Amino acid sequence: MMPNTSARRQPVPHPFPYQGSKRSITKHILPHIPFGTGLLVEPFCGSAAVSLAAAVHGQAQRFWLNDANGPLVALWQEILERPVQLAEGYEGLWREQLEDKRAFFHRVRRQFNQKPKPHLLLYLLARIVKGAVRYSSDGRFNQSADNRRAGMRPEAMRQQLLGVSAALAARTRVTAWDFRDVVAETSADDVIYMDPPYQGTSFTRDHRYLGGLPYTEFVDALRVMNSAGKSYIVSYDGATGEKTHGEPLPPELHLQHLSIHAGRSTQSTLLGRDCQTVESLYLSPALVERLSAQAGQAQASPISRNSRLHERAPVATEFICNMPSSHRGHPPISYT
């Protein structure tokens, strides 16, 4: 299977904004997924930015989207299986809101909390502030609307939904399992990308996520994955300026730690500051071994030596000088 270089120029569809989405840095993540991967798994899929990019760029053949958020998983099922009907439901809500967007949003939010339906959630995600999903302590969706905007226009939403469905529908499994159960069903040939809830966001008053994931539990799960020889990538901690987000994963896991320069943070822009965001990316020992073997094969083959597979994202390992020392990654990775 040769790299899909034409797909590299294709836009990646995204039907809804989602805070924490890795959409802006997928170009730095994809080079660490072995080309021709049979199954790419996202146990914490959220907006599925990595799977969508991998599908459009021909980086994997099949996909598994999972999330503990049941209504979100139901939305993904609707996007993949019934995008036209979902687009029609969204359009009805979007046009009905125009007389009083603020009051209409609150009404839809109440309806969703009483009986979650995919088109209601899609509308809420299109309207909420900064795409930041929030839940109350009793699991009710409680984020406010950005009343300056009406959300994505119906025509554009339809195109996004159809694009996502075309990219993923025929080759994607969708579940709402515990992430450990998902990982247990994967094989050593699969690649698992994990972007779990950041520490400090799971148990706050607003509950950004329906369920929390304590640091120690996640580290224990990674130990089990290492023992089983799983190939995985983790986005976990990071920093904005001098402010750190979460505790780095422990050295005892023997993960390759990369630092991705994600640019100026949205929050600092709003506050008139110039704080750069750096996100951590961790590669499992089994994955690094696979990538090393693949790089060696490429060097031995003049045809594949120039493949896009082995291009390095230009700032994937660029470090920010004022980044706290505990969050600085290792030197740039070499797979040979």
- Under the banding of pLDDT at 50, 70 and 90, the label for residue 309 is very low
- Continuous segment of H or E residues that includes residue 283: strand 276-283
Comparing CA positions, the residue from 314, 303, 309, 315 lying closest to residue 335 is 309
Phi, psi angles (nearest 5°) of residue 47: -90, 0
User: How far is it, in rounded angstroms, from Cα 39 to Cα 162?
Assistant: 22
Q: Would you call 191 helix, strand, or coil by DSSP?
A: strand
CA distances from 126 to 72, 114, 151, 254, 314 (A): 13, 19, 5, 40, 32
Comparing CA positions, the residue from 334, 197, 335, 331 lying closest to residue 257 is 331
Q: In this predicted structure, which of 123-137, 156-170, 178-192, 260-274 has the lowest mean pLDDT? A: 260-274
Comparing CA positions, the residue from 54, 101, 97, 52 lying closest to residue 76 is 52
Long-range (24+ apart) CB contacts under 8 A made by 17-20 are 17/47, 17/125, 17/126, 17/130, 17/131, 18/46, 18/47, 18/125, 18/131, 18/133, 19/130, 19/131, 19/132, 19/133, 19/208, 20/46, 20/195, 20/198, 20/208
Q: Which residue matches tokens 């994997």?
A: 60
Q: Would you call 103 helix, strand, or coil by DSSP?
A: helix
Is the pLDDT assigned to residue 315 strictly greater than 80?
Answer: no
Q: How far is CA 271 from the centre of its chain?
A: 26
Q: Which residue matches tokens 């609150």?
A: 106
For 74-160, CATH number out of 2.40.50.180, 1.20.1440.120, 3.40.50.1820, 1.10.1020.10 equals 1.10.1020.10
Highest mean pLDDT among 80-94, 284-298, 304-318, 322-336: 80-94
Contact (CB, 8 A) for 182 and 194: no
Q: How far is CA 241 from the centre of its chain?
A: 22
Is the pLDDT assigned to residue 124 strictly greater than 70?
Answer: yes
Q: Could you tell me which CATH number the domain at 16-68+177-326 has?
A: 3.40.50.150
Is the pLDDT assigned to residue 245 strictly greater than 60?
Answer: yes
**What would the pLDDT profile of 45-100 be if each residue is shown by its tens digit?**
999 999 999 999 999 999 999 999 999 999 999 999 999 999 999 999 999 999 99
Is the pLDDT assigned to residue 121 strictly greater than 50?
Answer: yes
**Torsion angle (degrees, nearest 10) of CA 237, 137, 122, 266:** -40
Phi, psi angles (nearest 5°) of residue 222: -65, -35
Q: Which residue matches tokens 């090393």?
A: 292
User: How far is it, in rounded angstroms, from Cα 330 to Cα 327?
Assistant: 10
- Under the banding of pLDDT at 50, 70 and 90, the label for residue 241 is low
- Under the banding of pLDDT at 50, 70 and 90, the label for residue 265 is low
Q: Would you call 47 helix, strand, or coil by DSSP?
A: coil
- The whole-number average pLDDT for the span 173-182 is 97
List the structure tokens of 211: 């369920």
Query: What are the residue boundaries of the structural domains of the chain, listed by start?
Result: 16-68+177-326, 74-160
List the structure tokens of 117: 């339906």
Is the pLDDT assigned to residue 266 strictly greater than 70?
Answer: no
| Buried-state track 181-212, b at ≥16 Cβ within 10 A, e below 16 | ebbeebeeebbbbbbbbbbebbeeeebbbbeb
Residue 239: its pLDDT value, please?
Answer: 60
Report which residue type is found at 309: L
Share of the chain above pLDDT 70, in %: 75
* Average of per-residue pLDDT values in the chain: 82
Q: Would you call 317 helix, strand, or coil by DSSP?
A: coil
Q: Which residue has the higher pLDDT, 105 or 303?
A: 105
pTM of the shown model:
0.82
Q: In this predicted structure, which of 14-23, 144-153, 221-230, 234-243 has the lowest mean pLDDT? A: 234-243
Query: What is the crossing angle of helices 118-127 and 101-114, to 10°?
Result: 140
**Torsion angle (degrees, nearest 10) of CA 286, 291, 293, 298:** 170
Answer whether 16-68+177-326 and 74-160 agree in fold: no
